[in-house]
Each structure stands twice: as C-alpha cells, then as structure tokens.
Amino acid sequence: EKSGYEHFMLKEIHEQPKVIKDTINSVLTDENISFESVGLSDEDMKNIQQVYIVACGSAYHVGMVAQYVIEELTSLSVRVELASEFRYRQMKLAKNSLAIIISQSGETADSLAALRLCKDKGVRTLGIVNVVGSSIAREADNVFYTLAGPEISVATTKAYSCQLVAAYLLAMQFAKARGEISDERFAQLVEEINTIPEKIEKILEDKERLQWFASKVVNIKDAFFIGRGIDYAVGMEGSLKLKEISYIHSEAYAAGELKHGPISLIEDGTVVFSVVTQSALYEKTISNMVEVKSRGAKLFGLTTYGNYAMEDVADFTVYTPRIDNLFAASLSVVPLQLLSYYVSVGKGYDVDKPRNLAKSVTVE
C-alpha cells in the first residue's frame, strides 16, 4: 500500500497536491466558498467576535498560521491555545465566540477535553477533523472535514497541509461574510489558493537537492529554526518534524527573540534553518541571520524565488515558488518535511514509527 514509496511518510508527502485540491474543492466552487456542508452560515460568521483555536502538536502549528491569516483578513480577535494548557486554565470565554478544534485523528484526549469544556461553557465549536466519525467530529457543533485520506505515518504531513487550506478558506469566508474584503482581493485569493497544489508539485520535483543537503546534516546534534510571523509558525513545524523522526535536538524561535537568550547557544557550526517568505519581515529576519552567522552559525535559508539576496548570507538556499504571503506556509513546509524525512532515512531510523510516539494520543 506504499504505492512504490519506501515509506508512508514519503508517499503522504507526495499525496499533498491531490488531497489539498480535494479539500479546497469540497467548499470552493468557481469563485464561491460555501460552508453549508459544515453548517456555518454567513450570518453565523457575521455574529462571531472572538475565535479560539485549540489543538496539539502540528495541528497547533496550523492554528498559529491560521491566527495570522484570520487577523490579516478580518476584524476578528483570535487566540491560539495548546489544548493541554487550555483545558486546565480558568479562561473567561467571550460570548459570540467560536472555538475551532483542529485534529487529524479527532481522538486526541486533550483536544477532546478542550472541546467539551467549550461546549459546557456554551461556546460554539467547530472541528477541523480528518477522521470521519471520530470523537471530535461527533461532538463538535460543526465539522469541516479535511480530505487527506488515511494518514499512516506518525509524523503528519498531508493532514497538516489540508488543515492549512481549511484554515485559509475559513478566514476568506469570514472576511467575505463580514464584508471585510474587497471582491478583487477575494478573487485574487481564490486564484492563489488554487495554485498551491501545482506549486507543491514543483517543489517535489527538486527533492534530490534536499536529499543531498540532508546528507550533510545527518550528524548534527542540535538545530535551530527561526522566522517571523507565518515563517515562525512554519519553523515550529519544521523543528517538530525534525526532532520527532530524526531525534535531533531542535528548537524554533521567533527570530526577534534570539537576542533575549537563545543566541547564546550559537557557536561555530551550529545549524540554523531560517524561513524567510514574508515580504514585510524579510529584512528583519535577514539581519537576524547575519547576527547568528557572525557567531559561526551555518545557515540554511528557505525563501521564495526572486529573493536572491538570500545567497549573500545563507550557506545553502532553497527557493519555493512565489505565492501570496498569506499562503506561504503551504509551500515552505514541504522542503522541511522532505529534509526531516531524508535525515531520518539517512540515520537508518524507523521513519513511519518513531520511538515513543503514537499516531493518536488518546491519553493525556
């Protein structure tokens, strides 16, 4: 069932263009997004004032991206919370709010507990769930199913990517229903979101380069990921992918935080992966890269075609196709998935079943 791929993870990475397209097409026809199947009307979307996004692991990282996108497109206030923390806090949940619970399995114990807590407090819940009929899908007031299909590899790739587009589509429709986006901008985003699958195909065509780079870093002991905004959220995901399947100690930092402590960890040869796709923050992150380089860091730069100045500072550069800044995570995550995959293979580890981890975490 691996369809000729050596591991499920690699197969699932390659399935991304198709399953992303399926997920987009489940709610987007021509120029219109409809959440009728989800049970969210435009009227509902107009009345919501506060959004809580609650999840664990990679799904939480999707929530971080979603927060940036929703904040950029709408007037909604958004909070992203780790389910394991959220469930034990005494948060005062606002009226007219929507809690979005993101979960591939729909069975994650902490996410399910968070969902129940929201329901008890009278907060409407929306699940972004992959497994049909799972607990979160059954108990949430509304469900937006991602159409990633069965994900076997413990390290999530295609489900994460489908959750991202689900979040974009929600943000876009929130903006439209609330009259907060121009018709031109909405049409432009529709056009852009539809380019994600083919652009991922392009990145996958170049995977040998990442394989080569991975062979150079298989023996490193520590890795750092830096970025700002959406790039920070992608760095968090890249770092989790690397640590969970290659067992390399890895940390992700908001680039602006380096000076507040983490920079003291940089020494000669420390590998720093820098995600730099957000045009408004480009210069800022580059200057952080220069700072760590001057302390001996080896830099992996991940940016978009056109940002060739990256090569002046990075030791190894990977380019992703250009896309609207809001959707950049969908492209920049792919080289990081491939990188962690090849590092794990290079170390001879059990890629699909990393030690100590379960595909679905049904106990807290």
Q: How far is the CB of 118 from ligand M6R (least distance, A)?
A: 16
| Among 59, 76, 140, 345, contact with ligand M6R (rule: CB under 6 A) | 59
Residue 80 CB-half CA count within 13 A: 20
| Among 105, 135, 317, 330, contact with ligand M6R (rule: CB under 6 A) | 105
What's the one-letter identity of residue 77?
S
Q: Give just the sign of the alpha carbon dihedral 121, 126, 127, 133.
A: positive
Asked if residues 156 and 104 have their Cβ atoms less than 8 Å apart, the reply is yes
Q: Which of 18, 293, 347, 359 is catalytic?
A: 359
Residue closer to ligand M6R, measured from CB, 48 or 240: 240
Any idea how long the chain is? 364
Q: How far is the CB of 330 from ligand M6R (least distance, A)?
A: 16
| Among 84, 103, 270, 277, contact with ligand M6R (rule: CB under 6 A) | 103
Residue closer to ligand M6R, measured from CB, 50 or 360: 360
Residue closer to ligand M6R, measured from CB, 54 or 286: 54
Sequence-distant (6+) residues with CB within 8 A of 167 are 62, 63, 65, 66, 69, 70, 102, 128
Residue closer to ligand M6R, measured from CB, 320 or 337: 337
Residue 361 engages ligand M6R in binding (rule: CB under 6 A): yes
DSSP 8-state code for residue 248: -
Residue closer to ligand M6R, measured from CB, 181 or 240: 240
359 included as an active-site residue: yes
Binding to ligand M6R (CB under 6 A) within 135-194 occurs at: 154-156
Q: Can you tell me the distance from the alpha carbon of 119 to that of 125, in angstroms, rounded to the nearest whole number?
A: 7
Q: Which helix (H) or strand (E) holds 226?
A: strand 222-227
Q: How far is the CB of 108 from ligand M6R (least distance, A)?
A: 3
Radius of gyration of the chain measured on its C-alpha atoms = 20
Q: How far is the CB of 314 from ligand M6R (least distance, A)?
A: 26
Residue with tokens 């981890």: 357
Instruction: Tally Cβ neighbours within 10 Å of residue 77.
Output: 14
| Among 16, 23, 26, 58, contact with ligand M6R (rule: CB under 6 A) | 58
Q: How far is the CB of 152 from ligand M6R (least distance, A)?
A: 12
Asked if residues 300 and 272 have their Cβ atoms less than 8 Å apart, the reply is yes
Which among 256, 63, 252, 56 has a CA at the least distance from the CA of 166? 63
Q: How far is the CB of 362 from ligand M6R (least distance, A)?
A: 9
Write the interaction track for ligand M6R spanning residues 229-268; mark x where CB under 6 A is met and - where it is not. Answer: -----------x---x------------------------
Q: Can you tell me the distance from the alpha carbon of 328 to that of 322, in angstroms, rounded to the nearest whole number?
A: 8
Residue closer to ligand M6R, measured from CB, 62 or 310: 62
Tokens describing residue 324: 């609207």
Q: Can you tell me the distance from the alpha carbon of 146 to that of 43, in angstroms, rounded to the nearest whole number?
A: 23
Q: How many residues bind ligand M6R (CB under 6 A)?
A: 17
Residue closer to ligand M6R, measured from CB, 82 or 93: 82
Q: Contact region for ligand M6R (CB under 6 A) — 4-12, 52-60, 84-92, 300-308?
A: 52-60
Q: What dihedral angle (degrees, nearest 10) is formed by the CA atoms of 127, 28, 16, 339?
A: -80
Q: Can you tell me the distance from the alpha carbon of 276 to that of 333, in angstroms, rounded to the nearest whole number?
A: 12
Q: How far is the CB of 151 from ligand M6R (least distance, A)?
A: 9
List residues near ligand M6R by CB under 6 A: 56-59, 103-105, 108, 111, 154-156, 240, 244, 357, 360-361
Q: What are the catalytic residues?
A: 359
